[in-house]
């Protein structure tokens, strides 16, 4: 009996250590700019970025990834956040970079945040979709997730898919699948465009503005190191590498897009007078 209790205690201890390491933001991220405005606190459990009139701040992941299922909880700048942008994204380097974006566009107190999403491949973006959220993203932490595998990219909020970008290389649409990407985040002043197209400027009397991060989960992500991936095949517990959105996911995504989408590049015929991008023509 005593040995069973000891074994159970050791298992619990090991689990807690593993969980602590997995959630320790010191282990996964480096503050890269901001002269002290970015901080990792509470023994690595919390990361904060701040913005004032002198500077914003940002961080990046220690690892590069080539495909992954990545979760992070964010709590956005509260109050009058007009003019500010909190960006959370994956990106490679170079002139033909790939990128997968969440950007949160601040607004006046009482007005909804705008969640701006985009996908770049080989240096070309222009694939914006924008949403309101169905909750106050400043009142508490919420989980923002990216599933990126060779077939698709799925953006999710609190487990609800809001957007899917499929691999349509077969019709000539570039898809990000060859360049490893790091995770980046920044809080910065973009009052020349962020709020009502730049009509509403940042109120610096409200500074410092602060966004908070916690509970990063990159366990289901392929770390790229020395030209090789940590993932070998979908048979080794990496089923997400071939994951598709099921009927429930599709239903929930349609609900979000019907009720909360406020811009979709695939319906902006004025922007594309020569014709919509080819991926927009496939249902």
Q: How many CB atoms lie within 10 A of CB 273?
A: 6
Longest dimension (CA), the chain: 76
Decide: 132 and 262 in contact? Cβ < 8 Å.
yes
Residue 99: active-site member? yes
Asked whether the bond before 208 is cis by omega within 30 degrees of 0, the reply is yes
CA 59, 189, 132, 181 torsion-angle sign: negative
Residue 169: active-site member? no
Of these residues, 103, 164, 169, 244, which one is catalytic? Answer: 103
Q: Quick one: which H or E segment has residue 105?
A: strand 99-105
> What are the structure tokens assigned to 28, written together?
């996964």
> What are the structure tokens assigned to 114, written together?
């705008």
For residues 217 and 230, give the distance between their C-alpha atoms in angstroms, rounded to a whole number.
16
For residues 125 and 89, give the distance between their C-alpha atoms in angstroms, rounded to a whole number.
13
For residues 104 and 131, give the distance between their C-alpha atoms in angstroms, rounded to a whole number.
10
Among the listed residues 73, 74, 35, 39, the one whose alpha carbon sits nearest the alpha carbon of residue 55: 35
Of these residues, 45, 64, 99, 169, which one is catalytic? Answer: 99
> What are the structure tokens assigned to 26, written together?
């010191």
Q: Quick one: which H or E segment has residue 70?
A: strand 64-75
Among the listed residues 226, 260, 231, the one whose alpha carbon sits nearest the alpha carbon of residue 66: 231
For residues 46 and 182, give the distance between their C-alpha atoms in angstroms, rounded to a whole number.
19
Return the active site residues: 99, 103
């Amino acid at each position: 009996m005593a040995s069973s209790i000891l074994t159970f205690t050791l298992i619990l201890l090991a689990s807690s250590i593993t969980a602590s390491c997995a959630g320790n933001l010191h282990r996964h991220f480096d503050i890269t700019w901001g002269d002290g405005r970015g901080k990792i606190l509470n023994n690595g459990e919390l990361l904060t970025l701040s913005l004032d009139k002198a500077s914003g701040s940002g961080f990046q992941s220690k690892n590069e990834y080539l495909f992954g299922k990545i979760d992070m909880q964010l709590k956005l700048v509260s109050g009058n956040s007009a003019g500010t942008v909190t960006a959370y994204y994956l990106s490679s380097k170079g002139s033909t970079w790939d990128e997968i974006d969440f950007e949160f566009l601040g607004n006046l107190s009482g007005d909804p945040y705008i969640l701006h999403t985009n996908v770049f491949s080989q240096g070309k973006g222009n694939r914006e979709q924008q949403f309101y959220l169905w909750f106050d993203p400043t009142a508490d932490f919420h989980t923002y997730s990216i599933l990126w595998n060779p077939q698709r990219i799925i953006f999710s909020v609190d487990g609800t898919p809001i957007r899917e970008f499929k691999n349509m290389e077969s019709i000539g649409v570039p898809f990000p699948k060859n360049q490893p990407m790091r995770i980046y985040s920044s809080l910065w002043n973009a009052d020349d465009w962020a709020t009502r197209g730049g009509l509403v400027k940042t109120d610096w009397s409200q500074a410092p503005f602060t966004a908070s991060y916690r509970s990063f989960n990159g366990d289901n992500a392929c770390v790229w190191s020395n030209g090789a991936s940590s993932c070998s095949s979908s048979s080794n517990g990496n089923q997400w590498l071939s994951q598709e959105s099921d009927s429930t996911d599709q239903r929930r995504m349609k609900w979000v897009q019907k009720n909360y989408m406020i811009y979709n590049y695939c319906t902006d015929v004025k922007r594309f007078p020569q014709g919509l991008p080819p991926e927009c023509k496939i249902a």
